[in-house]
Amino acid sequence: MSKVYRILTIGPIDSGKSELCNFIFRENKFTQNEPSCSCSKGPKIFQTKRNELNIEIIDFVEYVDDGTDEDNFKTILDILIDKNSLDLFLFVINSYNMRFHTDTKNYLKIILNTFTPSEFLNHLAIVFTDCNWLYDSEKNIDILTMQLHQFLEEIVDIKNNPNIILPKIYEIDTKKNENEKYNEKYQATIDVLLLNMEKNFEICGEISTKNIKLDGVKERLEKEEIKFKQTNNENREIKIKEIINKYNIYIRTFS
Ligand SMILES: Nc1nc2c(ncn2[C@@H]2O[C@H](COP(=O)(O)OP(=O)(O)OP(=O)(O)O)[C@@H](O)[C@H]2O)c(=O)[nH]1
Ligand SMILES: [Mg+2]
C-alpha cells in the first residue's frame, strides 16, 4: 500500500484552515453543513488523492481564549496516536491580521511540549491565506513572520540547530477570483507545498506518533540527532522550479 501523507492544520480561529483544506481537496468537504453552534465542533478527517499522493487532512479546531486549548489538543493527540504518524503541520494564518492572537505563544508551547523542535519545524509549512492586492498583505506577512520567528526563538534555539530544516512560507487566497490566473497560481502553490512535503519525507521521514504524550517530549526523547538523507529525486526539483517560474510564485524561508 502506498504511503498516506497525514496533514494536521493548526492556527488561530478563523484563519482559513477549513477553507484551505477545501482548496487542497478542490471540494467543499471541511465546511459543508457546518452549523453555527459550537456544540458540534471537532476535528474533521478526510482522505483524497492529489498529484499521485494519498493525503489525509485532520482539520483542527481553533484555539481559543477560554482555556480549552489543552483539551482540544488532547483530542487531536488521541487521533494521532491512533493514526501512528504525521507528516505535516500546516500552520494557517490570515494575512489580514496585523498581529497574532494573544494565545499563539501558549499554543506553540503546548505543541513543543509534545513534539520536539525538529519534529515540529522539519514538518512545518506556514500558509498565509487571504493574500490579495486589496490591502498590503505583504507588509502584514513580514510582521507576522517576524513575530512567529520571535515566539519560536524564545521557545527553541532555531538559529544554530543543525537538526532543523527551516520551514517555508506560502501565500495563497482560497476565495475564487474572477481572474482565473490567480486561482491557478494558488493551486500551483499548493502543488509546490505538497512536493516539498514529499521531499521532506525523503530527507527526514515522518513523525512517529505512537508514543506521543501531552507534555511528554522529555520522557520520549532525551536528545535528538537527525540524520538527514539525501534526496535523489531530480525530477521533483525540476518540477518545483518549473511551477515556481511558470506562476511567478514567491516562497519565503523562515529565517
Ligand atoms: N477572501 C478570503 N477569505 C478567506 C480565505 N480563507 C478563509 N477565508 C474566510 O475566512 C473565514 C474563516 O475561514 P475558515 O476556513 O472557516 O477558518 P478556520 O480557520 O477553519 O476557522 P475555525 O475552524 O473556526 O478555527 C470564512 O468566512 C472564509 O470564507 C482566503 O484565503 N481569502
Ligand atoms: Mg475550521
Q: How far apart are CA 108 and CA 115, in angstroms?
A: 10
Q: Which ligand is nearest to the CA of 63?
A: 1
Convert the pLDDT of each residue in 198-214 to its tens digit: 999 999 999 999 988 88
As assigned by CATH, the class of the 4-253 domain is alpha beta
Q: Which residue has the cell 468537504?
A: 29
Q: Which tens digits make up the pLDDT trace of 218-242?
A: 777 767 788 899 888 999 999 999 9
What does the buried/exposed string (b/e) look like for 193-204 if buried means 16 or more CB atoms within 10 Å of the residue's CB?
bbbbbbbbbeeb
Nearest CA among 104, 111, 125 for reference residue 77: 111
C-alpha cell at 30: 471541511
Residues of the chain with pLDDT under 70: 32-41, 61-69, 133, 222
Q: Which helix (H) or strand (E) holds 129?
A: strand 124-129
Query: Distance, CA 61 to ligand 2 centroid (Å)?
Result: 6
Best substitution site from 9, 18, 19 to test ligand 1's pocket, by max atoms within 8 Å of Cβ? 19
Q: Is 72 in the pocket of ligand 1 (CB under 6 A)?
A: no
Contacting residues for 133 by C-beta, under 8 A, at least 6 apart: none
pTM over 0.85: yes
Domain coordinates of the chain in residue numbers?
A: 4-253
- What are the residues whose beta carbons fall under 8 Å from the beta carbon of 159, sequence distance 6 or more? 153
pLDDT the model gives residue 121: 95
Structure confidence at residue 226 (pLDDT)? 85
